[in-house]
A and B are shown apart, each in its own frame.
Chain A
Amino acid sequence: MDRFRMVFQYFQSNSESVMNGICGLLALASVKMYTSFDFSCPCLPQYNMAYGLGVMFVPPVILFLCGLILNRQSLVMLEEWKRPAGRRKKDLAVIRYMCSSIMQRAMVAPVVWIIVTLLDGKCLICAFSGSMDPEKFVGFTNVSTGQVQQLLAKVPCKDDELMRNNTSRRAVSRYLRCWSQALGWSILLILIIAAFLARWLRPCFNQATLLQAHHWSNYIDIEQKIFEETCCEHSRLFAHKCILHFFESMQKEIKLHSFSLRREGEEAEGEENLLRGITDQDQVNKLLKMWYYEKPPLDVSQAHQR
């Protein structure tokens, strides 16, 4: 329980951890989806390749888009990219950094799907059994060309009546699975080497720029969160004031019609400060519009001088 709470808190502790957590969850979901998906090759000449390659490439696109949707930072990046410059310049290096980190995280789940697919082998067997050269396999050499396509297309279906005890079927299947697994492991090796090199060689190029970009992308993210939290707090206080005012005005109306002593007691002065003088709809709208069209400069020294 304690361990779970610690892990949970660690992932919540900062936004990068949250994104890594989501990335990991999507990768696990990708494996789970593959194992629960009931792969059933149609075993028909024109359909096999479409089905096999479809199952190998369409879910990765879906997982990639999911990775982008579920990542909060992609919205932050888009907003930063599209906002008017106003009083704060836009730094393209920061936007590029954010974009690349989002893409890297979104690519993990699709890559996991493709590798699991290749290592399992079913997709490639289904897609390419019809493209095999029948001369290489004993059981298919004496069959007419029309028939051979049909037979080869049925190789992925073990339980088909024609294929049940066909040893050449097993040969084709093993051959294709071997290629598929070799491809899977090669891709995995290449990706890991690429990731290793990228991490290791990164400090050799532009480390200072990278540190700055990392800092400011973090800053933009935190600023966005704090703005949202401040708006929430403000709206709560606003609502509180509004309701109290409503109650007071009702009370005043009633007092006009009856004899009663004046009621005293006002709300605490502290709350007036938290509202920061923003007390009606037009002021809030203006504030939100100003926040978008003219972000303040990154300079808080003026606040201290006031």
Chain B
Amino acid sequence: MDKFRMIFQFFQSNQESFMNGICGIMALASTQMYSAFDFNCPCLPHYNLAYGLGILLVPPFILFLLGFVLNNNVSMLAEECRRPRGRRGKDPAVLRYMFCSMAQRAMIAPVVWVSVTLLDGKCITCAFCTSVPVETLGNASHPRLSHGEIQRILARIPCKEIYNGQQVIANEVAVRYLRCISQALGWCFVLLMTTLAFLVRSLRPCFSQAAFLKSRYWSHYIDIERKLFDETCAEHARSFAKVCIQQFFEGMNTDLVAAGCHLPRKAPADTGEAAEKLLGITDQGTMNMALKSWHRCKPPLQLYPPALPTGNGWAGEGQPPTHPSAPQRETAAYYSWV
């Protein structure tokens, strides 16, 4: 548990580490998915190719999209793309940087899937078993077998239990041949991807380092600004709700006093804090009425109704409600009842 928490904290400590963590988890998930998947070649002439290539190419596409979905920054990028200019210009370099870094991370899990698939060999064996060069590897001199028959026999290569073409071509020879090709393709693919990654990383300092520093700073800034804005709004909402509810209870109290239902609130000779928290509601009937009123008739989202003429003239002290100003309104409201 402690170990997990420490690893979790390390990855949360900064945004990039977090994204790298998700990336790594998806790559592991990809290998796990492959080993858990029960590959079943259909062993029929036209279906083999579709099945084999489908398993090779469709899950990577899904993993790629999943990589985007799980990335929090996608919505940030979309927002930044679509917002109106207003008083702040939009920098296409920053948008490109954000998109590129997201795409690079999302590419890792699909690349892992394709590599593992090719190195394992089952997909290519299934997809291309009908294209094995029978002339060189086996015994093609079977005049009584038509092309279609040979195709059907070859299609059964991946399914050893039902293979009936030992005299045409030995099963082990064909499987070894196909697996060799598949593994060669796999290693070449991994080499190509690694070389690309290396070039992308190492050519950047040679060409556009200043622009890169700028884009990185501003994309980080946009992310932080969005988070801070959310936090400020949450803080504001909390204060707003607190004052609103406070006013509701005060309102109830006033109504009850006005209707003569119970005595006005005792003077603060009582245990001050406890009395304040009770907000003037001290018996079952009043509480039930408060709860009913809360359900039937919620108060409006307006903390200081504008320009109500009252005796002591403090009506306009606070700011008008439903507007995202700083959360100092709470203090002002408490003053009003002192």
- Give me the interface of A with B, judged by CB distance under 8 Å: 1, 4-5, 8, 37-38, 40-44, 47, 50-51, 54-55, 58-59, 61-62, 65-66, 68-69, 74-75, 78-79, 81-83, 157, 159-161, 231-232, 235-236, 238-240, 242-244, 247-248, 250-251, 254-255, 258-261, 263, 265, 284-285, 288-289, 291-293
Q: Is the interface of B mostly helix, strand, loop or mixed?
A: helix
Chain B residues whose C-beta falls within 8 Å of the C-beta of A284 in the assembled complex: 217
B212-232 residues with Cβ-Cβ distance < 8 A to A are 213-214, 217, 220-221, 224-225, 228-229, 232
Question: In the assembly, what is the distance between CA of A305 and CA of B262, in Å?
Answer: 74
Chain B residues whose C-beta falls within 8 Å of the C-beta of A78 in the assembled complex: 202, 205-206
Q: Which of A50, A239, A259 contacts B307 (CB 8 A)?
A: A259
Chain A residues whose C-beta falls within 8 Å of the C-beta of B323 in the assembled complex: 250-251, 254
B147 proximal to A (CB < 8 A):
no
A-B contact sample (12 more), CB < 8 A, given A69-B197, A79-B205, A243-B225: A38-B119, A40-B180, A44-B137, A51-B183, A62-B191, A235-B217, A239-B221, A239-B224, A250-B324, A254-B323, A261-B316, A263-B326
Known A-B contacts A157-B176, A247-B326, A284-B217; A83 and B209 likewise in contact (beta carbons under 8 Å): yes
B261 proximal to A (CB < 8 A):
no
Chain A residues whose C-beta falls within 8 Å of the C-beta of B210 in the assembled complex: 288-289, 292-293
- Give me the interface of B with A, judged by CB distance under 8 Å: 2-3, 6, 10, 14, 119-121, 137, 170, 172-173, 176-177, 179-180, 183-184, 187-188, 190-191, 194-195, 197-198, 201-202, 205-206, 209-210, 213-214, 217, 220-221, 224-225, 228-229, 232, 306-307, 316-320, 323-326, 328
Whether B221 lies near A62 (C-beta < 8 A) is no
Whether A255 lies near B177 (C-beta < 8 A) is no
Q: How many inter-chain contacts with C-beta < 8 Å in the A-B complex?
A: 151
Q: Residue on A with the closest CB to B166?
A: A161
Whether B224 lies near A235 (C-beta < 8 A) is yes
A280 → B minimal CB distance (Å): 11
Whether B220 lies near A235 (C-beta < 8 A) is yes
Q: Residue on B with the closest CB to A244?
A: B326
Known A-B contacts A5-B6, A75-B205; A42 and B324 likewise in contact (beta carbons under 8 Å): no
Question: In the assembly, what is the distance between CA of A81 and CA of B307, in Å?
Answer: 69
